[in-house]
């Protein structure tokens, strides 16, 4: 079952510049910066009342975030829902006709497991499920 919105992913060209913006213009505090090799991104996290901002900078030319930036420029990249049953959630979405990017959960930020649904099957929003399991 989905418990809450865990985080909102935002694609940026420069993590340093974006962190400066969120700290200086919005007064938020960067919690941590983490590189996720499997996703080819460097991320910065901000806690906004329990919902996080996950700022994403590509680490390689073929990173999914690099491709997103080429197509769309900077902006909202995905919304992540926290679930207590990521496999069950994927099964439910598949049964409802969604196109899964990950048939099985993969390692994500903060030691979580993550899986994505294709935006073409979710009304345009790249949708992530994440869980601690
Ligand atoms: Zn995410």
Q: Considering the entire predicted model, what is its pTM? A: 0.92
The Å distance, Cα 95 to ligand 1 centre, comes to 23
Q: Which three-class secondary structure state does DSSP give residue 115?
A: strand
Q: How far is the CA of 80 from the centre of ligand 1 (A)?
A: 6
Q: State the distance from the centre of ligand 1 to the C-alpha of 79, rounded, in angstroms.
A: 7
Whether 116 and 78 have beta carbons less than 8 Å apart is answered as: yes
Residue 111 confidence (pLDDT) = 84
CATH 1.20.1530.20 for domain 2-131, yes or no, is no
> Is the pLDDT score of 6 beyond 80?
yes
Domain boundaries, the chain: 2-131
CA of 6 to the centre of ligand 1 (A): 8
Please report the beta strands in the chain, taking only residues with DSSP state E, as ranges in sequence order. Answer: 2-11, 30-36, 41-48, 51-58, 75-83, 106-107, 113-117, 127-131
Residues 99-124: b if buried by 16+ CB within 10 A, e if exposed: ebbbeebeebbbebbbbbbeeebbee
Mind listing the pLDDT tens digit for each residue in 15-36? 999 999 999 999 999 999 999 8
Tell me which residue of 79, 67, 70 sits closest to 6, measured CA to CA.
Answer: 79
CA of 96 to the centre of ligand 1 (A): 22
Could you read off the pLDDT of 102-112 as tens digits, one per residue?
999 998 877 89
> For 31-76, how does the pLDDT look when each residue is reduced to its tens digit (9 = 90+)?
999 998 888 999 999 999 999 999 999 999 999 999 999 999 999 9
CA of 93 to the centre of ligand 1 (A): 18
Q: Given pLDDT bands bounded at 50, 70 and 90, which one contains residue 133?
A: low
């Amino acid at each position: 079952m989905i418990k809450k919105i865990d985080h909102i992913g935002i694609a940026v060209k420069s993590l340093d510049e974006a962190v400066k913006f969120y700290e200086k213009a919005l007064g938020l505090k960067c919690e941590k910066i983490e590189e996720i090799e499997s996703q080819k991104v460097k991320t910065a996290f901000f806690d906004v009342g329990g919902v996080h901002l996950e700022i994403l900078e590509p680490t390689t030319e073929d990173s999914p975030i690099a491709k997103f930036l080429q197509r769309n420029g900077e902006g909202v990249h995905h919304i992540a829902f926290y679930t207590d049953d990521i496999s069950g959630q994927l099964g439910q979405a598949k049964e409802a006709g969604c196109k899964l990017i990950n048939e099985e959960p993969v390692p994500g930020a903060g030691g979580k497991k993550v899986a994505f649904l294709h935006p073409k099957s979710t009304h345009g929003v790249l949708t992530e499920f994440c869980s601690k399991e």
